[in-house]
Structure 1
Amino acid sequence: MKRAVVIALLAVCIRLPFLASGPGGWDDVDFVLGMKQYDLTAMQPHFPGYPVYMVFAFAVGQVIKNPYVALSALSALASALTVLPLYCIVHAYSNRRMATAVALLWAVAPLSVVLGTQPLSDSFGTLLAVLLVASSMCVLDRGRTERSRALYLIVSGICLGLLYGVRVSYLAFCAVPLWAAIMYGKDTRRWSDIVCAILCVFLISFGWTYAMAVNVGSVHGLWQMALAFTGGHFSDWGGTYTGDNAIERLGYWLGRQWLAAGLGTPWAGQHWISWSIAGLFMLSIWGWSVRCKRREIQVRKRGRAFVLLLMWGVPYGVWAFFAQNVDKPRHILPLLILLLWLVASGLLAFRHAGKYMLAALICCTLAVSWTQVREQSESLSPTVQLAKYTASHLPASAVVYTYEEERIIRYLHPEVETVRLRKWEDFQTSVFSRRLSTDSVFLTSSVLEGFKRPQIWRYVRERARFTGNPWLYPTYHDIILYEILPEQKADWVRFLQN
């Protein structure tokens, strides 16, 4: 366990110099506004409010006054502490060498490092998810006393209830303690312990749900907000990748999220060392074929434990693929450990040479991670660039029609008039009700693309473009601000009226 503590300290040291001190996207601003005045109706933060995460954020905010640094420090601490339960899980399934390898890879993996420096809830949620798996693993351990197993079952229930208070989208993780509870009941017939664990989940979930209802004003109001948010979140446009078919989507999901973002293989905006990581990844696949030939993989002897890993990866993996924005790698962070574990296992199949391969992989991933977080700390995100440009280069009468960029512009420069839109009809109503001249109308690319009206492009021209690393800013790495063509003023008005 001393190794795990040392690696956790190393993980903190890697992340602390690069903590975000300002906004990068609209989620950042939501959390910061929530720290200043928690108000779910004002999307501070947005539904479902992340109550458990925000409680810890408030606590850190009492020590660190800059809310961005406070949230980022919480992410760094959570990301580093994840090493401890991670090490215990891998060590229980394999050996100390494997546990050390996976822990080191987690400490330096690009997705883990980048999210461990951002003011988002993903690193904190991953810590709770891994704690949930670790406690459920202890429930399966027949070498423990029934009392000890029952205690860990209760801990699993508590972790699950807290996990839902961080992100409701972690719902699929209930499969992990459910499997552990079924096996525990089969071994002991102490069903009352299982009932107690279920009660823990419901009581904790009820506690933060009730707090959200109080904040909104009523249970009905919370329910209506849930319907409104989830409907728009999953059905409206706004940057979500949509491929031609499931196979194309799967290829993008695996290549973009798992390999490029998670492990550091080549992708747009990635360091050239990524090619070395790709080569080592291919060697790890070869290593697994070697393990199979040696018949080193014996699932039957540890069937229950193997199923627990499946409960960890499969249900949430299916949810992340079908129900989450495939453009955003952060959704697969709780599953990254499984990928790192597989890669480490494949490389260590080469025995003596495997140690050097693993060391090379750790160095390469650290180099890629360092370049990413350094760029993130030294450059402005495209949305922040847009906000600064609108404040300094547009006329006083300008109205900027945006989508999610609106949150950042309003936060940084409230003097700029912005309108967040989803529908063409709303745009028409807004322009005519305000009696805007064509010189005052500006639209971002996300708005124009969301209208899905090809004929609109003949009336506009590019005013400014703001770009960033597509790895760091997946949905808003290329933002274009448009204005109405001067020679199309008359035709533009007629076009709006149709």
Structure 2
Amino acid sequence: MTVRSDRLLGRSLFFTLCFVISLLLGVHFYLVSPFVASYDIANFTLAVGQYDLANLQPHFPGYPFFILLATGLARLGLEPVRALGIVSTLGFTSGLIPLYWLLKRQSFDTARLLAAFTVISVASLVVISATGMSDGLALGVLCWFMWSVERARHGHFRLLPYLLFGLLMATRLSYAPFGIVLLFLLWQTRKDSWQLLSELATLLLAQLAWLLPVAFSVGGPASFAQLSLSFVTGHFSDWGGTAQTDEASLIERLGLTLKQIVWHGLGFTSWLGLASGLFLFCQRIRPLPLWWSVTGAGYFLWVWLAQNIDKPRHVLPLVLLLVFLLVRHLSVRWLVPFLCIQLVMGSIALYRQATIEPATIQLADAITGLPASATIFTDEEDRQFLMKRPDATIVPIGSVSKWRAEPKSAEVYLTGRLFKRLRAEDVSIEVTEVFHFTSDPRFEPEDAEARLYRLNLNEEAPR
């Protein structure tokens, strides 16, 4: 009778926890951000209405899986930006299932469900998933991919990891280093030629399944290749904002990468969150298996050496892996404090993100009061501005040469980001500040401050 009572109590606790988790996830869906808070979100939002890769709707490589799901929701009546946020949130929260399967040791395992929920409750992960970015969906697909790899290693569903890797690439191409783990699976089958061939073929077909439709949407593989080269060339030229244009040394980039993982990722820029995260390090930690350690190290090198590390979202897969590593063998008494702190921080941040306009949007509202003859030069804010004032003359500037070539009338304005870019390139100009707005830097660090300047006459000093 005692064993039966324990089982009934265990099931009761398990389903009670499922109910509580469902309520909390419902709050996450309710607090999806309604704002086109960044240049990338603007591109995704436009793509939901009209998919046009050549017009950066969205930018290369197209994110077809993310846009396809969001387009389906938008056709049901949702606003495009909310459809994107719901897809991202839904994709991320679905990761609870494979994480639980990776952790559980018995049926109705309450402790392991709590551990899995702890992973997807990290504030930085929750907040990014509630926006119109593809990161949330990508993190969810990554969780399913991790589970499929472990199943395949034991001989179950051997082809599934290759299919899910195709979905992962169709969601966020920058997660490509996670394909390293597939090399370990292929190594397992090295002595079985037919099995090796079938897995390689599945890997190739899974990539072609999303690459070919995207390529034909711009005229075919040749046009797609030309477009990709054009995008990469532009992305790595002048102020493309990538590793090639970053003047920081490798040591400085390493320090910033670690800061993004620990301070912005694990702590979510809160000393309380950081303390709770570091507390987990004091517990007994068992290392990840070799195949995941090598894969995680490969992604870390990719972020450190090749990504725009100014954006914390690039380190979020490492944060997910790190938290998974820390919680997988912890007891409930250690999980609950960390979970509660992350839930409180994440809920407050979600509410602020969903209710307070980002600085760039505040600036976009403000420019509606400028004269009709005004010309506004921007860095990457043009599409956000045009959504607010379609009739305005908005000119995006991507290089010093384009700035010099553009004609300038008496009513010329430029954004703070563009002014900062020009000053960094030693372009001497005289301006007067017109607007200045700020917002929470935890959400979109590069857009947490928005300024608009009026260009004074004789704007460029002689060189």
What is the TM-score with the length of structure 2 in the denominator? 0.88
2:364 to 380, 387, 409: 387
Q: How does 1:122-201 map to 2 (within 5 A)?
A: 122-141=135-154, 149=155, 152-183=157-188, 185=189, 189-201=191-203
**Which deviates further from its counterpart, 444-453 or 316-325?**
444-453
Alignment of 1:326-337 (within 5 A): 326-337=309-320
Taking the aligned partners of 1:386 and 1:121, their CA distance within structure 2 comes to: 25
| Matched residue SS, 1:202 | helix
Kindly indicate whether the alpha-carbon contact (under 8 Å) linking 2:35 and 2:354 is maintained by their aligned counterparts in 1.
no
Decide which structure has greater helix share: 1
Q: Check 1:261–1:173 CA distance in 2 against 1; reply closer, same or farther (3 A cut).
A: same
Within 1, Cα distance between the matches of 2:185 and 2:322? 22
Which aligned segments of 4 or more residues in structure 1 are displaced greater than 4 angstroms?
1-8, 95-98, 238-243
3-state SS in 2 of match to 1:152: coil
Q: 1:136 to 1:493 in 2, by over 3 A?
A: closer
**Preserved contact between residue 360 and residue 381 of structure 2 (Cα < 8 Å):** yes
Mean alpha-carbon deviation: is it higher for 22-31 or for 233-242? 233-242
Relative to 1, partners in 2 of residues 1:429 and 1:264: Cα closer, same or farther, differing over 3 Å? same
d(CA) in 2 for partners of 1:96, 1:286:
25
Structure 2 CA distance for partners of 1:227 and 1:239, relative to 1, 3 Å? closer
Aligned in 2, Cα 1:400/1:92: closer, same or farther, shift over 3 Å?
A: farther
The offset of 1:105, in angstroms, is 1.7
What pairs up with 1:297-336 in 2 under 5 angstroms?
297=286, 306-336=289-319
In the TM superposition, residue 98 of structure 1 has moved relative to its aligned partner by 6.4
Q: 2:448 aligns with which of 477, 481, 493?
A: 477
- Please give the alpha-carbon distance, in whole angstroms, between the structure 1 residues aligned to 2:86 and 2:453: 37
Alpha-carbon contact 2:37-2:358 (below 8 Å) kept: yes
On the 8 A contact 2:235/2:242 being kept in 1, the answer is no
| Cα pair 1:239 1:446 within 8 Å, conserved | no
Paired residue for 1:271? none
Query: Which structure 2 segments of 5+ residues have no match?
Result: 1-10
Which of 394, 398, 416 is equivalent to 1:418? 394
Return the alpha-carbon distance in structure 2 between the equivalents of residues 369 and 135 of structure 1: 29
- Write out per-residue CA displacement over residues 62-93 of structure 1, whole angstroms, 9 at most, x where no aligned residue: 33432122111111211111011112223379
Bigger shift: residues 372-381 or 2-11 = 2-11
| 1:10-51: CA deviation from partner (whole Å, max 9, x where unpaired) | 552231121122311122221121111111111111111111
Tell me the residue number matched to 1:343. 326
Determine the C-alpha separation between the residues in 2 that align with 1:339 and 1:34: 33
Native 8 Å contact 1:8 1:80 kept in 2: no
Is the Cα–Cα contact under 8 Å of residues 153 and 194 in structure 1 kept in the other structure? Answer: no
Distance 1:401 1:448 in 2: 9
1:475 partner SS: helix
Provide the residue aligned with 1:367 in structure 2: 344
Shift in Å, 1:384: 0.9
Provide the rounded CA distance (Å) in 2 between the counterparts of 1:166 and 1:277.
29
1:246 — aligned with what? 250
- In structure 2, relative to structure 1, the CA distance for the partners of 1:309 and 1:322 (3 Å cut) is same
C-alpha separation between the residues in 1 aligned to 2:343 and 2:247?
A: 32
**What stretches of structure 1 of length at least 5 have no aligned partner?**
142-148, 268-273, 292-296, 300-304, 349-353
In structure 2, the residue matched to 1:220 is 222
Aligned mates of 1:85, 1:53 — CA distance in 2: 20
The match for 1:270 is none
Q: Which amino acid aligns with 2:28?
A: R
Tell me what 2:273 maps to.
Answer: 277
Which residue of 1 is the match for residue 266 of structure 2?
263
Cα distance in 2, alignment partners of residues 10 and 331 from structure 1: 29
Q: Is the 8 A contact 1:90 1:98 kept in 2?
A: no
Partner residue of 1:22? Answer: 35
Deviations 1:184-229 (A, max 9, x none): x16xx33322322221221132232221221111322211211121
TM superposition shift of 1:156: 0.9
Distance in 1 (alpha carbons) for counterparts of 2:135 and 2:305: 19
Cα contact 2:427–2:460 (8 A) shared by 1: no
Cα pair distance change 1:68/1:204, threshold 3 Å: same
Q: Do structure 1's residue 13 and structure 2's residue 15 form an aligned pair?
A: no
After TM superposition, the score normalised by the length of structure 1 is: 0.82
| TM-superposed deviation, 1:449 | 2.3
Q: Which residue of 1 aligns with 2:380?
A: 404
Aligned mates of 1:194, 1:339 — CA distance in 2: 31
Aligned to 2:7: none
Aligned to 2:4: none
Instruction: Return the match for 1:358 from 302, 311, 335.
Output: 335
Distance of aligned partners of 1:85 and 1:48 in 2 relative to their CA distance in 1, 3 Å threshold: same
Change (3 A) 1:113 1:281: closer
Distance 1:427 1:70 in 2: 36
Question: How many residues get paired?
Answer: 446
- Aligned pairs for 1:92-111 (under 5 A) are 99-111=112-124
Question: Which amino acid is 2:358 matched to?
Answer: S
CA RMSD across the alignment: 2.7
- C-alpha separation in 1, matches of 2:354 and 2:236: 31
- Percentage of matched positions with identical amino acids: 26
Report the AA paired with residue 382 of structure 2: E
Distance in 1, matches of 2:73 and 2:206, equals 22
SS of the aligned residue for 2:428 comes to helix
CA contact (8 A) 1:180 1:308 kept: no
SS in 1 for 2:451: strand
CA contact (8 A) 1:461 1:484 kept: yes
